Structure 1
Amino acid sequence: MERFQITDVGMQKQLLAVSLFLLAFLLAGQLSSAYMAQEYKTAMAAHDSALAGYLLQSGNAGGGSIAAVFTSEKTQAEQETGAALLSSYGYGADMQTSLLPEVMEFRLRSALIILAYSLIFSLGILFVLHRGCRRRDEELDFAAQTLRRFMDGDSGLRLPDCGEGSLSRLFAEINALATSLTAHIQRERESRRFLKETISDISHQLKTPLSALMMYNEILREEETERETAAAFTEKSRRELERMEHLIQSLLKLAKLDAGTIELNQEVHPLKSFLEGCLESFFQRAEHEGKHLLLSCGDCAKLAFDELWLGEAVGNLIKNALDHTDFGGRIELSCGETAAAVTITVRDDGAGIHPEDLHHIFKRFYRSRFSKDSSGVGIGLSLAKAIAEKHGGVLTVQSELGRGAEFAMLFPRL
Structure 2
Amino acid sequence: MPPRSLAVRMAVAFAFTLALILLAASSWVYWGLSARMMQEDRESVLRKLDTVAALLQNLPVHSDALRQEAYVKLPRDAPRDLFVRLRSASGAVLLQTPGFNPDLTAADFEPPDARGSPQLHKVHLRHDLHYLTAMLPLTASATAAAAPEAMRLDVALNRTAESRILADYRVRLTVVLLAAIITAAAAGYAIAWRGLRPLRHMADAARDIGAQDLHRRLDTHLLPDELQTLGLAFNATLQRLEESFGRISQFSADIAHELRTPLTNLWGGLEVALGRPREPAQYREALESAVEECARLSQMIQTLLFLAQTEHPHAELRLDRLDVAHELRVLAEFYEVTAAEAGVRLDVHAASPLFLQADRMLLQRAVANLIGNALAHTPRGGTVTLSARLQDSGVRIEVVDTGCGIAAEHLPYLFDRFYRADAARSRGGLGLGLALVRNIVRLHGGEVSVESRLGQGTRMMLDWPLHCSAG
Equivalent in 293, 312, 319 of residue 372 of structure 2? 319
Matched, 1:103 2:75: yes
Give the match for residue 414 of structure 2.
Answer: 361
Measure the CA separation in 2 of the matches of 1:208 and 1:274: 37
Shift of 1:207: 0.9
Give the match for residue 138 of structure 1.
Answer: 190
Judged with a 3 Å threshold, the aligned counterparts in structure 2 of structure 1 residues 261 and 230 are, in CA distance, closer, same or farther, namely: farther
Measure the CA separation in 1 of the matches of 2:195 and 2:298: 55
Q: Is the 8 A contact 1:333 1:344 kept in 2?
A: yes
Shift of 1:396: 1.8
**Structure 2 SS opposite 1:351:** coil
Give the match for residue 52 of structure 1.
Answer: none
Q: Is the 8 A contact 2:15 2:188 kept in 1?
A: no
Structure 2 gap segments, 5+ residues each:
81-160, 208-217
Letter of the 2:396 counterpart: T
Shift of 1:213: 0.9
**Structure 1 SS opposite 2:268:** helix
Judged with a 3 Å threshold, the aligned counterparts in structure 2 of structure 1 residues 280 and 198 are, in CA distance, closer, same or farther, namely: farther
String of CA shifts for 1:334-382, please: whole Å, max 9, x gaps: 3334686433211111121211122221222223354351412322111
Give the match for residue 59 of structure 1.
Answer: none
Letter of the 1:377 counterpart: L
Give the match for residue 295 of structure 2.
Answer: 242
Matched, 1:274 2:327: yes
Judged with a 3 Å threshold, the aligned counterparts in structure 2 of structure 1 residues 21 and 344 are, in CA distance, closer, same or farther, namely: closer
Letter of the 1:82 counterpart: D
Mapping 1:245-394, distance limit 5 Å: 245-337=298-390, 341-368=394-421, 370-371=423-424, 373-394=426-447
String of CA shifts for 1:195-251, please: whole Å, max 9, x gaps: 554444322211111111111111222334456655554444344333222221221
Q: Is the 8 A contact 2:19 2:181 kept in 1?
A: no
Measure the CA separation in 2 of the matches of 1:21 and 1:262: 60
Shift of 1:384: 0.5
Shift of 1:127: 8.6
Q: Alpha carbon RMSD of aligned pairs, Å?
A: 5.2
- What's the TM-score, normalizing by structure 2? 0.59
Q: Is the 8 A contact 1:329 1:350 kept in 2?
A: yes
Letter of the 2:263 counterpart: L
Give the match for residue 264 of structure 2.
Answer: 211
**Structure 2 SS opposite 1:373:** coil
- What's the TM-score, normalizing by structure 1? 0.66
Judged with a 3 Å threshold, the aligned counterparts in structure 2 of structure 1 residues 317 and 154 are, in CA distance, closer, same or farther, namely: same
Give the match for residue 2 of structure 1.
Answer: 3
Judged with a 3 Å threshold, the aligned counterparts in structure 2 of structure 1 residues 232 and 135 are, in CA distance, closer, same or farther, namely: same
Judged with a 3 Å threshold, the aligned counterparts in structure 2 of structure 1 residues 372 and 341 are, in CA distance, closer, same or farther, namely: closer
Q: Is the 8 A contact 1:325 1:351 kept in 2?
A: yes
String of CA shifts for 1:250-284, please: whole Å, max 9, x gaps: 21111111123532222233444433443455445
| 220-229 or 341-350, larger mean C-alpha shift | 220-229
Mapping 1:47-58, distance limit 5 Å: none
Judged with a 3 Å threshold, the aligned counterparts in structure 2 of structure 1 residues 138 and 225 are, in CA distance, closer, same or farther, namely: same
Letter of the 1:138 counterpart: A
Matched, 1:92 2:71: yes
**Structure 1 SS opposite 2:455:** coil
**Structure 2 SS opposite 1:344:** strand
Letter of the 1:397 counterpart: V
Q: Is the 8 A contact 1:33 1:107 kept in 2?
A: no
Shift of 1:407: 0.6
Q: Is the 8 A contact 1:271 1:335 kept in 2?
A: yes
Measure the CA separation in 2 of the matches of 1:226 and 1:104: 139
Give the match for residue 87 of structure 2.
Answer: none
Judged with a 3 Å threshold, the aligned counterparts in structure 2 of structure 1 residues 282 and 238 are, in CA distance, closer, same or farther, namely: farther
Q: Is the 8 A contact 2:406 2:425 kept in 1?
A: no
More strand by share: 2
String of CA shifts for 1:58-91, please: whole Å, max 9, x gaps: xxxxxxxxxxxxxxxx99747973344548xxx7
Count of residues in Structure 1 that have an aligned counterpart in Structure 2 = 368
Mapping 1:117-266, distance limit 5 Å: 132-142=184-194, 145=197, 148-152=200-204, 154=206, 195-226=248-279, 230=283, 232-266=285-319
String of CA shifts for 1:98-139, please: whole Å, max 9, x gaps: xx6x7124559x99x999x99999999889767754542234
Q: Is the 8 A contact 2:347 2:385 kept in 1?
A: yes
Matched, 1:82 2:135: no
Q: Is the 8 A contact 1:266 1:306 kept in 2?
A: yes
Letter of the 1:368 counterpart: A
Q: Is the 8 A contact 2:377 2:404 kept in 1?
A: yes
Letter of the 1:293 counterpart: L
Give the match for residue 56 of structure 1.
Answer: none
**Structure 1 SS opposite 2:316:** coil
Equivalent in 459, 466, 469 of residue 406 of structure 1? 459
Letter of the 1:92 counterpart: Y
Q: Is the 8 A contact 1:321 1:348 kept in 2?
A: yes
Judged with a 3 Å threshold, the aligned counterparts in structure 2 of structure 1 residues 279 and 32 are, in CA distance, closer, same or farther, namely: closer
| 10-19 or 290-299, larger mean C-alpha shift | 10-19
- Over the matched positions of the two proteins, sequence identity in percent amounts to 25
Letter of the 1:154 counterpart: A
